[in-house]
Amino acid sequence: MSGDILIVEDDLGLQQALQDTLLLSGYRCECVPSAEAAISLLQRQAVQMVITDVQMAGMDGLGLLHWIGGRFPGLPVLVMTAHAQVAGAVSAMRAGAVDYLAKPFTPDALLGLVARYLRPPREDDGDPVVGDEKSIRLLQLAGRVARSAASVMITGPSGTGKEVLARFIHRRSARAEGPFVAINCAAIPDNMLEATLFGYEKGAFTGAVQACPGKFEQAHGGTLLLDEITEMDLNLQAKLLRVLQEREVERLGGRKIISLDVRVLATSNRDLRQAVTEGRFREDLYYRLNVFPLSWPALAERPGDILPLAEYLLQRQARLLGRNGVTLGEDARACLQAWHWPGNVRELDNVIQRALILSVAGTLGAGDILLDGAAAPAPVVPDDGLGKELESQEHQIILQALQACAGSRREVAEKLGISPRTLRYKLARMREAGIRVPM
């Protein structure tokens, strides 16, 4: 499920910041400044989620929650409250809000919560990009395994593309038309993971104001990816094993047995055998999930993937920034090929993003490639100091332009000769880096 989020916020600066953050993650958004405007929009247009401020002139966020609860009971509503107003958050949860954000919050906190209810449309639902012999063989193997019903365990260091491979297996399987549901076991607090996986009935625990299906139920007829499974605590591992063996689930606080038709894929960046030996991962669960192990090695061990991936990631980022047609110069390619990529493909993605932000030219050069950890050998690359310097100069220029144009983004973008979209992107990055961007 992906799609439209309605933001209801009377502080236009915050409204814009929320929209920037969500747009950059691929969500489509509509913004309105009041609950009344939200109601009028909801009567005309379907949305998939609402994010609303509580305190607003006219009808407040709680009033809007009640209205939505009456008309669209299944529509998830996230409320934003001032930090000091815990009572507001409690009332909102009672009134049926699915969650709340205490201001001020980080872009990551916002995206983390939204992703629990709405999957961002991914740009990378294509096949994994490969160029190295090793990866080509791995992909062929994964394609064959996909057609079977076997559980698959994908291992490899962080950022190597394990989730991309899992999506590929789902798309190549007989379940391709069914849902693909991913849950990151490391990102959800232990006490919430069980409820998130298995679902709960209303009143199962404090805060369970309405019944909620778990990820297993949501994945019925499709595939469930248990990301970073080795981070799950041992008690929950036992419960998971039972669900996998019996192919049925019972929601927390519920009595009904729900039968499941779900294929389970799992990933881990640990040495699984060692986790079993150390008693951190159940051996029986290991055998259950490890029916078909696939291992995606570190990027440095498959150097033939680096340039095809760099090209692909460049085009993906360039599209977001409205900079289609940007290319990688020969010196930039040499730089990328020579690096040892401790952060794997995710690091490559970051480096490409940085290069695009720094450069305004149509071809990225070696000088635009800023690698993490300047201490490591990096041929023909300026040191990190220069990169930081340039970045901070760019931030200064943008901040000054914002001041000079009294916050008008359109004017700032014109003044700096960049598209409004690029400006939005840069501002969101600045906010992520903790810089206060005046509105």
Ligand X SMILES: Nc1ncnc2c1ncn2[C@@H]1O[C@H](COP(=O)(O)OP(=O)(O)OP(=O)(O)O)[C@@H](O)[C@H]1O
Site size with ligand X, rule: CB under 6 A: 20
262 contacts 222 by C-beta, under 8 angstroms: yes
Written as one string, the DSSP assignment of 336-355 is HHH---TTHHHHHHHHHHHH
**Binding-site string for ligand X from residue 259 to residue 278, where x marks contact by CB under 6 A and - marks none:** --------x-x---------
Residue 129 contacts ligand X per CB under 6 A: yes
Which residue from 162, 215, 282, 429 is in contact with ligand X, where contact means CB under 6 A? Answer: 162
**CB 323 to ligand X: min, Å:** 18
127-135, 359-367, 369-377, 419-427 -> range binding ligand X (CB under 6 A): 127-135
Decide if residue 161 touches ligand X (CB under 6 A): yes
Q: Are 13 and 427 in contact, with CB atoms under 8 Å apart? A: no
CB of 313 to ligand X, least distance (A): 7
Pick the closer one to ligand X by CB: 312 or 339.
Answer: 312
Closest by Cα among 41, 99, 34 to 60: 34
Our finding on whether 345 is near ligand X (CB under 6 A) is yes
Query: Cβ(243)–Cβ(260) under 8 Å?
Result: yes
Q: Is 159 in the site for ligand X (CB under 6 A)?
A: yes
Cβ neighbours, 10 Å, residue 185: 23
* Residue 158 makes contact with ligand X by CB under 6 A: yes
Rounded to 5 degrees, φ, ψ at 29 are -130, 155
Query: In which residue are the tokens 């690698």 written?
Result: 371
Candidate segments 80-88, 153-161, 171-179, 381-389, binder of ligand X by CB under 6 A: 153-161
Part in contact with ligand X (CB under 6 A); list of ranges 91-99, 125-133, 364-372, 376-384: 125-133
Q: Residue 46: exposed, middle, or buried by beta-carbon count in 10 A (0-12, 13-18, 19+)?
A: exposed
Q: Which of 36, 99, 124, 394 binds ligand X (CB under 6 A)?
A: 124
Q: Does 163 interact with ligand X (rule: CB under 6 A)?
A: yes
Task: Name the pairing type of β-strands 99-103 and 77-82.
Answer: parallel
User: Does position 230 bind ligand X by CB under 6 A?
Assistant: no
The pair of structure tokens assigned to 174 is: 């007989």
Contact pattern for ligand X over residues 372 through 411, marking x by CB under 6 A: ----------------------------------------
231 binds ligand X (CB under 6 A): no
Contacts of 230 (CB under 8 A, 6+ apart): 268, 270, 272, 275, 280, 281
What's the CA gap between 146 and 49, in Å, rounded? Answer: 33
Give the shortest CB-312-to-ligand X separation in angstroms.
6
Q: Closer CB to ligand X, residue 263 or residue 302?
A: 302
| Shortest distance (Å) from residue 349 CB to ligand X | 5
Residue nearest to ligand X (CB): 161
**In the beta sheet, which residues pair with residue 364?**
328
Q: Smallest distance, Å, CB 129 to ligand X?
A: 4
- For 20-80, the DSSP string reads HHHHHTT-EEEEESSHHHHHHHHHH---SEEEEES--SSS-HHHHHHHHHHH-TTS-EEEE
At its nearest, how many Å lie between ligand X and the CB of residue 111?
A: 14
In the complex, minimum distance from the CB of residue 326 to ligand X, in angstroms, rounded to a whole number: 18
Q: What is the DSSP letter of 249?
A: E
Identify residues 280-309 at the interface with ligand X (CB under 6 A). 309
| Piece of 158-166, 236-244, 365-373, 400-408 that binds ligand X (CB under 6 A) | 158-166
- How near is the Cβ of 355 to ligand X at its closest, in Å? 16
Q: Which is nearer to ligand X, 220 or 270 (CB)?
A: 270
Q: How many CA atoms lie within 13 A of 308 on its CB side?
A: 14
Question: In whole angstroms, what is the distance from residue 306 CA to residue 333 CA?
Answer: 9
Residue with tokens 């909102």: 92
* Interface with ligand X, residue 132, by CB under 6 A: no
The whole-angstrom separation of Cα 150 and Cα 140 is 16
Nearest distance from C-beta of residue 159 to ligand X, angstroms: 5
Pairing of strands 248-250, 257-259: antiparallel
Q: Please report, as residue ranges, which positions from 305 to 334 form the binding site for ligand X (by CB under 6 A).
A: 309, 312
Least CB distance to ligand X at residue 294 (A) = 12
Task: Indicate which single residue of 160, 173, 230, 422 sits in contact with ligand X (rule: CB under 6 A).
Answer: 160
Q: Does residue 170 touch ligand X according to CB under 6 A?
A: no
Smallest gap from residue 166 Cβ to ligand X (A):
8
CA 374/CA 349 separation, integer angstroms: 17
Binding site for ligand X (CB under 6 A): 124, 128-130, 156, 158-164, 227, 267, 269, 309, 312, 345-346, 349
